[in-house]
Structure 1
């Protein structure tokens, strides 16, 4: 379940981050700890704004943004990542089914707006991550709870 929250958090931040890419110079990705402290409404608004910016960005700009976002996560200590995962897990559990559906739909829309090449690249990144973390494979294949 903790991995589901981590995935939820990453997807949320990725979504928020990708939406912010619309301008010629995309903004820096938000610090994951800042995003975790936002309310559901704030994160959804940020996601909508970022998605609009993301639509105008080039695939290269979006890729660079994702790389910066991943670097921000890697910069956190293991204890900070665990605390963030736990916090996001608790937040996910506190969401209503309608809010969870809205988040899922938001992520699906973000992925659908990418080029087939970008989706393939993200699929490859996920596959590489799964190979590096073999115990996570079972967890990611389980459906998320509503």
Structure 2
């Protein structure tokens, strides 16, 4: 792994450890790198009014916006279990708001990155800010 990817993995893993998931018991962490080089992380936060809650990617994006950044260049999402923990449909659209279709999304498990996708692979023919110009 590159130094930048290792930083994303470590930030997402630390966020995953802090996830609040008493209902699903499925903790997710996400970290994103912005065009400025900053790394922002988030974790999933569940709610008793299940499925109301927040995804890890949404938390990372909120942290990014709060810090004043607006352009995501790379994302890493980590979840346990044997299956790929890709962003949900809503988070794919959230990521599209701040990233281009060639933005890399790395999907990881505890052992490291399992697979990488371009956002356009996960959300083809997306609707984004450019459509409203």
Structure that is richer in helix per residue: 1
Pick 1 or 2: higher relative contact order, CA cutoff 8 A, min separation 6: 1
Whether TM exceeds 0.5 here: the answer is: no
Structure that is richer in strand per residue: 2
TM-score normalised per structure 2: 0.32
